[in-house]
Structure 1
Amino acid sequence: MTGEIKRFNIRLALFYSVAGMCGAWLTGSLVCMLLFLCGHRAIAVGFRMYPYHVIAFYCYIGVIAAVYGVFLFGWFYRHPKNRTTRYAVMPLTACAVITVSCIPCSVLYLIQDMLYGFFPDDPLGRIVNRVDINAFLAGWEIVWYSFPLNLLGLALFLIVTGRLTQLFESGREPLLYRKLTQWNQTHPNRLFLITGTLLFGLALCCHFLFIQYQEINGVAHYRFLPAGWLVFGLVTMTLEAAAFVTALLCWCIHFLNWKLAWGILLAGSLLLAGAGIWNSLPQNRFLATMAPIYSRSMRLVRLQVMDSFCDDVTISGTMRCPDKHIEMLKERGILDSGGNLHEYRRHLTVTRIAENLYSFRDYLPPLRGKSE
């Protein structure tokens, strides 16, 4: 097999893998939505599974679809050539996809808990510890009792995987694939540059994301807001993202092979986007803000993040905390009598509102002088 033919097959495999991933996500989400509208609970409810987990079914289906897309790419090259053997092995591969999906789905489950007010002391450690036998057991329990969605999913898995395998073996090029190939041949590397610009632009947006949190009558509410600098400098950041992709990743394409360049593009942008979202989660901002005086007895009630354009980011909110803990901090001199903590460049103020209820504000004092 020559290098050109091998490259052609890899591109076709990538195209069918992405098509299968998107089709699985859209089809699964639509089927679940239709079952919900018909009054049938498509997804089984496991232990300590709250309504917001079920409402976000499309997120979990998207995770499974992403794992399925990765599986398809490897399946195209390593699947049994005999048709009977192929369909006999497919149910086992479907079990493998579900098993692997249990790990990222359990992480998503924990992140949703964090967004709705269940804040562990060590979020990253809790996510690492999710990779155990309990994650697999809980995932398989939900899949097993999600009738008839599990049977529909298995049937669609067999039909779609078998059909995509036949199309790949025959070398059939869909219309969209031919158009993209022709466009990429006419304008070399343009597809790569546009994709890279969009992905790194998305990563920048994730870093300039503010998540506001508020607990009302025991129910957590949150909304997503862009930072002021994101709105003000959107064009500038887009150009910066394009320049970064052009300077770095085109260099990778020129001096290295194209597979490594695509790997750097996808891995780099996804890691940057993930880090931005992780830093923007309410519990992580709260833990970072209260780090000098944090205690397990503290409970976040409200969190608001504001961008002042000139004085950095101001973080304020309300928390529940025992009065004796704040008094102990004042006795030890960590907080002054007014509830202020002066650190290098930043200023944290804790003010008592009611019994065991405090407001806090973390900000950067103006450079012209001390804050009042």
Structure 2
Amino acid sequence: MTVTSLTARLKAQARAEGFAACGIAPADAAPETAERLRDWLASGAHGEMEWMMSRAHHRERPKALWPEVRSLIMLGMSYAPKEDPLRLESETDIGRISVYAQGKDYHDVVKKALKRLARWLVAEAERDDAKADVKVFVDTAPVMEKPLSAAAGIGWQGKHTNLLNREQGNWLFLGAIYTTLDLEADPPGEDHCGSCTRCQTACPTDAFPAPYRLDARRCISYLTIEHKGPIPEEFREAMGNRIYGCDDCLAVCPWNKFAEQARANRLFSARAELAAPKLADLLALDDAEFRTIFAGSPIKRIGRNRMTRNCLIAAGNSGDSALVEPVKALLDDPDETVRDAAEWAIERLA
């Protein structure tokens, strides 16, 4: 079996496993990533995400994480939404949850597909009397998925720093299979953003100091998910009714118009209770109820207190007098950050 035929069959198998894009890069791909990462971390733009700093040496290049790796199989699975995420912007009594978190936890779905594909690859190599060692990664490992995916030709990093694909838009979960096999590499992806700046101007908090550069400390996704303390007041009004993540820079990208076929993927269809949850209902949740409702969702990891904080900010922005009583009930909450947000929301609603 030739390397070329194995590569072609691998890509066909990846499609059969539900991946919308598959490309291969050599283990030394994207060497410029190391310097860019160092500069970004030195600027402090990673905020409280200390895990970015603590394993930066592993992120800088694939061989630092696994010295034996020879080929990088980069994959994208579409989670393109059926409806425009921006349609709920004016629905002030509901909380907006990022598209990626409305359905099944992508960590589980993507990792299972990666493992099946990796097992297939090992078996195919054995049939050709070759030995293939593999490792699979999705999001939680120190892997720079976006620049490596661009190096593998499945797209390019747009001005919003996320990966873009001409056929799938930017609604892609990324995963990787590292292998000791020498596979045929694909040419790197080419930038097709052109003069477009829609993602830059759509950002509610001006989180892009320059095209292709993100300051996480100003990003609503970071503030609602990664940031643990009180939301800085300068960003609270701009958050609107976003309570978990933000899709604005993704939703306005014109390349998404080609993602119609991607919407056939039903693995990540929104759960009814997460598509447009009422703020009043979310504000009433205790810890046990929070865990029950968000079981099987990536939202669960931020905990009840952080979610309640986010919902209080949204309530304060709503102008909805019906939320005054649910907010008042949290003024004496045991959590200091929740109390701070409740006080701010009451002042706004009053």
For normalisation by structure 2, the TM-score amounts to 0.24
Give the number of the structure with larger relative contact order, counting CA–CA contacts within 8 Å between residues 6 or more apart: 2
Larger Rg computed on CA atoms:
1
Q: Which has the higher helix share?
A: 1
